[in-house]
C-alpha cells in the first residue's frame, strides 16, 4: 500500500495499481527523499505531474502545500486511479486538473492556454525514460515550466542522465535502488 510521506496528509494511504496494470509507482522512500530536497520550493508552487500513474507524486506536492497540481496520464485505467485517489481529498477540488493525454500533447495544450508551472515531475515508463526528458525539455522550451523552474526526472538507476537534451543541468541526483530522481534546471544559453 502506498502512502503520502509528508505534509498535511502525512501517512494517508493511497490506492495502488492492480496486479494487471503496468504501472510502477514511485516508491514512498524515493518520493520522501526528493520532496525533502525540494523543501520550501513546493510551498505555493504550481506543480505538473507528467506520467502521473497513481497521482501519488502530485498528491504529495499538494500535501506539502503546493497551490495547484495538474496530473497528466495517457492511459484511461491509470486516469481512473488518479481520480480515485484525488476523491479521497475533496478539499483540493478546484486546485487540481486531470488530463488524459500523452505528456507531449499535454505540454502543447498547456502552452497554448498560457499555463506555467514552478515544478514539473516526469516519471515515464522506464523502458522509454527518455520520453520524460523530452517532455520536460519541451515544457521548458514552450514556457510551460517557468524559466527558474525545477524539473524532476525519475528514471532507472542505470540510465545515463549525461545524455539529457541540451539545456539541462543536473542539480541533484538522488539514486538508490532500482530508480533515481534527477533534479534539473534549464538554461537555453548552454
The 10s digit of each residue's pLDDT in 149-164 is: 999 999 999 888 888 8
Per-residue pLDDT reduced to its tens digit, 76-92: 999 999 999 999 999 98
Structural domain includes residue 84: yes
What would the grid cell of residue 56 be? Answer: 501519488
Residue 22 within a domain: no
Decide if 10 is inside a domain. no
Higher pLDDT, 48 or 28: 48
- The rounded distance, in Å, linking the Cα atoms of 93 and 131 is 29
Give the integer Cα–Cα distance in Å for 65 and 41: 10
The whole-number average pLDDT for the span 94-111 is: 97
Q: How confident is the model at residue 48 (pLDDT cuts 50, 70, 90)?
A: very high
Strands (DSSP E) contained in the chain are 2-3, 13-14, 46-50, 68-72, 96-99, 117-122, 145-156, 168-174, 179-186
The tens digit of pLDDT for each residue in 169-188 reads 999 999 877 789 999 999 87
The pair phi, psi for residue 25, each rounded to 5°, is: -60, 150
Residue 97: per-residue pLDDT: 97
- 34, part of any domain: no
Q: Is 130 exposed, middle or buried (0-12, 13-18, 19+ CB in 10 A)?
A: middle
What range defines the domain where residue 71 resides? Answer: 44-186
Phi, psi of 75, deg, nearest 5:
-95, 120
Question: What is the domain count for the chain?
Answer: 1
Q: What is the average pLDDT across 127-144?
A: 95
Q: Is residue 4 part of a domain?
A: no
Q: 34: part of which helix (H) or strand (E)?
A: helix 28-38
Task: Classify residue 6: in a domain, yes or no.
Answer: no
Burial zone of 38 (CB within 10 Å; 0-12 exposed, 13-18 middle, 19+ buried): buried
pLDDT of 190 reads 47
pLDDT classification of 189: cutoffs 50, 70, 90:
low
The answer to whether residue 62 sits within a structural domain is yes
Mean pLDDT of 118-147: 95
User: In this structure, what CATH number is given to the domain that contains residue 69?
Assistant: 3.40.50.150
Q: Is 121 inside any structural domain?
A: yes
Specify whether the CB–CB gap between 94 and 67 falls below 8 A: no
What's the whole-number average pLDDT of the chain?
92
Amino acid at each position: 500500500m502506498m502512502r503520502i510521506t509528508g505534509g498535511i496528509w502525512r501517512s494517508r494511504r493511497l490506492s495502488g495499481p492492480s496486479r494487471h496494470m503496468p504501472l510502477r509507482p514511485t516508491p514512498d522512500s524515493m518520493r520522501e527523499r526528493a520532496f525533502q530536497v525540494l523543501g520550501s520550493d513546493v510551498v505555493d508552487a504550481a506543480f505538473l505531474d507528467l506520467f502521473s500513474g497513481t497521482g501519488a507524486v502530485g498528491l504529495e506536492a499538494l500535501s506539502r502545500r503546493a497551490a495547484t497540481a495538474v496530473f497528466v496520464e495517457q492511459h484511461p485505467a491509470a486516469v481512473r486511479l488518479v481520480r480515485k485517489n484525488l476523491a479521497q481529498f475533496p478539499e483540493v477540488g478546484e486546485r487540481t486538473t486531470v488530463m488524459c493525454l500523452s505528456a507531449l500533447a499535454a505540454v502543447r495544450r498547456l502552452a497554448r492556454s498560457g499555463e506555467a508551472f514552478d515544478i514539473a515531475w516526469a516519471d515515464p515508463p522506464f523502458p522509454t525514460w527518455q520520453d520524460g526528458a523530452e517532455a520536460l525539455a519541451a515544457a521548458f522550451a514552450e514556457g510551460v515550466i517557468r524559466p527558474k523552474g525545477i524539473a524532476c526526472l525519475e528514471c532507472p538507476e542505470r540510465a545515463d542522465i549525461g545524455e539529457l537534451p541540451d539545456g539541462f543541468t543536473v542539480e541533484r541526483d538522488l539514486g538508490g535502488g532500482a530508480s533515481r530522481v534527477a533534479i534539473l534546471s534549464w538554461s537555453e544559453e548552454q
